[in-house]
Amino acid sequence: MPQQGASRNAASGTTLNESTGTHASDKDGFKIASARKRRPLRLKDYFVTRLSPDTTEDDITNHILDVFKVSRADIGVTKLVTKYDSYASFRITCSNLDDASLFYDESKWPEGTFVKRFHTNRSFDG
């Protein structure tokens, strides 16, 4: 936000008390900072539950490969220990999912399946 009373430079869109260099030569011995590195790929974890207790990690993996069209290298499935033996729950780690909201699409999962983000307990020092 420009300071009160500062006029704008129409060509660059900056105020007159701001500047962005355009000189192409580095004869002066200094250079601009290099471009920021891309953030590492973030994995998304999902919690899927209310499945039949005999559902296996391979069943979930095959379902995800078929429905979401990701490669096997982009997913990880871990069966979780549940409080009761009447259902199965899984932690699904997925990278390279083009649209993460597709994971919440009810039509992609068997009826009654519950899907949400998987949150880990984090402990902080201090």
**DSSP, res 111:** T
- Mention every residue, 6+ apart, whose C-beta is less than 8 A from residue 95: 41, 42, 43, 44, 74, 75
Residue 1 pLDDT greater than 70, yes or no: no
- As a whole number, the mean pLDDT across the chain is 78
Report the amino acid identity of residue 69: K
pLDDT, one tens digit per residue, over 23-52 is: 555 566 666 566 556 555 667 899 999 999
What pTM was estimated for this model as a whole? Answer: 0.63
* Average of per-residue pLDDT across 105-119: 92
The three-state secondary structure class of 74 is: helix
Structural domains of the chain, with CATH: 44-117 (3.30.70.3220)
Between CA 61 and CA 28 the distance in angstroms is 58
Residue 124 pLDDT greater than 60, yes or no: no
Between CA 100 and CA 74 the distance in angstroms is 13
Instruction: Look at residues 68, 113, 66, 122 and name the one whose alpha carbon lies nearest to residue 95.
Output: 68
